[in-house]
Each structure stands twice: as C-alpha cells, then as structure tokens.
A and B are shown apart, each in its own frame.
Chain A
C-alpha cells in the first residue's frame, strides 16, 4: 500500500520504519502499564538500533562503490568491536580482551579469507561485508557464551579444581571437564540453528535473497553456505579461545585465579 503512495525508495524505507516504530512504541506502552521497568532500555534500544542500522545503510551505499581492499579494515573494525563487547560482561577473566580478539580473529578472519579466496563468498563488497559481519557476530556470541560459562563453571567448582591441583595434577587436566561444558554451551545454539534450518526459521541471508527475487533453490544452497561457514567460524573461535583461556585462569605457580562463588 505504502509503495503506491511513495515513489522515492529512501522515503518509502523511512515510512516503513516509522510504522514499525509505532508498533514498537505500543509494546513500550504495554510494558509501562505492566510496570516492567524496561521503558528506558527499550527506548534506548529502539533509538540506537534505528540510528545505527540506517547510518550503516547510508555508509554502505558509499562503501559498495569503493575498492575490494576496503573490506579488510571494515572486518577488522567489526572484530575489534566484537572483542570489546564480549569483555564488557566478563571482567574477571585475566586478558579476556586478548583472548576474545584472538579467538574471533582466528575464527571469523580465517573463514572469511578462505571462503573469499575459494569464491564460496563472492569476491565483491556486497557479499563480503554482510556475510563477514554474520561470521563476526556468530563468533562474538559464541566467544561470550564460552567465557561466561567457563568462568561460572570454575567459580562454582573451585573446590574441585583446587582439590585436583592439590593432588599435583596439571591445570589443563583439572579444568578439562569445565572446558568441555563451556565449549558445548557455546556450540549448542549453532547446532540447533543448523538442525532447525528452513523448518523453524529462514535466516537473514536467504530471506534477503528471496526478497530480492533470487531463485529460491539457489538461495537455499547459499543459506547453507552461510550457516555452515558460521558454524565453522564458531568452532574455530571457541577452540582457540578455550585453549587460551584455560591458561589465563591460573598463575605461573598453577594457582587458580578465579574466586569461588559465595554460597
């Protein structure tokens, strides 16, 4: 209906966003009535979300006309930002930022590079940047889940960890069960995502291709490429991060640096 009235595509987008915003404000009104205390968070979220994504949209129209190499600093900025966002919630793990940067770079960086060189990801900015961002985003979430879970496992099992150390066991052996649980916790959302692909949800890449009129069968294959690549990214990220973090939670004299949770 809107497209019949508005010719200009940008104005059409603004009008569509405006209607969505009105719907979101109705939800805010309901939360206020229920006194959920979420008003500020939701309003800030809506405001930031709208401004950020529209700004990125305008920025991408400029970037897409640039050379291919510009994708390198853009992906790097994404990785560094993802590292900083991860450690906001995990301050008690020593060197969490460096671990996150190493894990996310190794996972997302290597998969984006290899897939682009092989041509699985099209060698143009309109493919590399959005698909790269999905991988960095996947790596960021997996890394955050991994570190958070590993920390909470150690804090709640500090007694057993120290019992193992006191028996003269190497730290990596003592934390192995908790490292396994953390890796599993970080991988489960991705495994669920793969299992439910196409049945429970049609993810962003395929949705975008369908919206722009691509052949649905090709869109299906391509969605698997994206989801599979994110899975590989997440796998590499969590494996690198867990290897690095399990050393960081011990001092040189093999003392546990994570304090036990108060009961």
Chain B
C-alpha cells in the first residue's frame, strides 16, 4: 500500500513557532502539519535551525512564540514527561547512561514506574539488530552500536512520533549506513510517525516522503521529497 494514499488525521501541528536566544532569531513563524504515519525530513544547510526546531518539538527548549498541537491538544497543556514519551527523541550523540545496554533500555519505562521484561528487551534489541547485547557494558560499544541502543532506548517508551536529530552525523560511513538501515527497518515494521533532521540529501531521499526545507530560521519549502530535492541544490 502506498503511504501517500493514506489520508490520516493531523497528529502534529506547528503554529507560528519561533525561537530566539539573546536577541538572535533562530526560528521564526514556522507552520506545518504532520499526519500519522508520515515520514518527514527537516532539511537545510548548517545553521538553518533544524536542530532548534526538533528540540522545540520535544519541548527541550521553550518556543519564544507559537506552539505545537499534538492530536489537537496544545502541547503546553500536556505534562512535559508525558509529551516527551509520546514524542520520542533520538539525539545526534547516543548519550548512553553508564551501565549495561538493558539498563539503558529500562530507563524510560522505569522512570514512569513500569518495568521492561526480558522478552521486550530481546524484541527491542532484535529490532535494532543487536541480538544478545542486553548485558554488554555500553562503554564497550562501537559508535554505530551505541546509536542503535539509543534508538532502541527511545522505542522502549513506545513513542507515537520518532524525532531523529541527525542520528548518523557523528558516525563513520559504515556505521552511518548500518544505523540508517536500522532506522528504515524500524519505520517499516511499525506505525510510528517519523521526523528526521538531516543535512544529507541522499539520506533524506532514502528515509523521507516529505521534506520541510529550512533556511535562515525560516521554512522555505514543504513538499514531497522528489519535488523539493529535484528543484533545489542543497549539497
């Protein structure tokens, strides 16, 4: 079934989103809607405000103006912890916590008073192609493995939307490919909606259906991936 043909309700809506630090405008008047199941890339040159935007979506920073609606509800009315579990974020750096891989996977569920059973840990690790890694010390993982644990750790919270902030940019070429393939297989196997921040045009083409192009803190295009990337020279 072609995902483009699915007419899903709006899951995430940014309305007049803006952000500034010390008088410097990093984002201004950002408006878009994302429907359930969509794979959207936020694309643009370095310094365009891509990471700033995804941090605002997770409410790790506070918008200076505007807001975001999740399922029609203003996200400022949703308790931050609940919001962040629903909009799971994978950062550029794995930032794993000291301990084992399983300890890291349990972190999110434990924080909300739930437990993560062995079967679920196995399933999560199998989903990111790290079978048998549960007891490994995270200090001994390669960069690619650590980033896949990071992805599984976020998925342990069963997010409705997966926010991926340049998830492969800190990795070498081989690990980059391996993490991207894992992301694609996770997206193909589930119902999760995905927003990917990337400055890698080829990656955007492989992962996303639709692209939001940012430049100088402004949204300059919002179109299907082939239209935008064919029309622009972003390399």
Chain A residues in the interface with B (C-beta under 8 A): 159-160, 162-170, 173, 251, 253-256
**Assembled-state Cα–Cα distance A230/B91 (Å):** 45
Q: Does B154 contact A167, Cβ atoms closer than 8 Å?
A: yes
Which of A160, A167, A256 is in CB contact (< 8 Å) with B108? A167
> Is B157 at the interface (CB under 8 A from chain A)?
yes
Which of B62, B84, B93, B96 is in CB contact (< 8 Å) with A166? B84
**Assembled-state Cα–Cα distance A166/B157 (Å):** 10
B 120-154 contacts with A by CB, 8 A: 150, 153-154
* Given known contacts A253-B80, A254-B80, A254-B81, A166 and B97 CB-to-CB distance under 8 angstroms: no
**Assembled-state Cα–Cα distance A166/B94 (Å):** 12
| Residues of B contacting A253 in the complex (Cβ-Cβ under 8 angstroms) | 59, 62, 76, 80
* Given known contacts A164-B107, A168-B111, A168-B112, A159 and B93 CB-to-CB distance under 8 angstroms: yes
| Residues of B contacting A159 in the complex (Cβ-Cβ under 8 angstroms) | 91, 93, 95
**Assembled-state Cα–Cα distance A159/B61 (Å):** 13
Q: Does A162 contact B85, Cβ atoms closer than 8 Å?
A: no
Which of B61, B85, B91, B96 is in CB contact (< 8 Å) with A168? B85
Q: Does A166 contact B89, Cβ atoms closer than 8 Å?
A: yes
Q: Does B82 contact A168, Cβ atoms closer than 8 Å?
A: yes
Total of A-B residue pairs, C-beta within 8 Å: 63
Total number of B residues with any Cβ neighbor in A under 8 Å: 26
Q: Does A169 contact B108, Cβ atoms closer than 8 Å?
A: yes
Q: How far is the CB of A45 from chain B (nearest CB, A)?
A: 36
> Is B168 at the interface (CB under 8 A from chain A)?
no
Most buried by B among A170, A251, A253: A253
Q: Does B81 contact A255, Cβ atoms closer than 8 Å?
A: no
Which of A165, A169, A170 is in CB contact (< 8 Å) with B60? A165
Chain A minimum-CB-distance residue to B55:
A162
22 contacts between A and B (CB under 8 A): A160-B95, A162-B60, A164-B111, A165-B80, A166-B58, A166-B60, A166-B91, A166-B154, A167-B154, A167-B157, A168-B82, A168-B85, A168-B108, A168-B111, A168-B157, A169-B108, A251-B62, A253-B62, A253-B80, A254-B81, A255-B61, A255-B80
**Assembled-state Cα–Cα distance A8/B210 (Å):** 92
| Residues of A contacting B91 in the complex (Cβ-Cβ under 8 angstroms) | 159, 162-163, 166
Q: A159-B93, A163-B91, A168-B82 are in contact. List 7 more A-B contacts (CB 8 A).
A: A159-B95, A166-B154, A167-B85, A167-B88, A167-B107, A169-B108, A173-B111
* Given known contacts A159-B93, A160-B95, A169 and B59 CB-to-CB distance under 8 angstroms: no
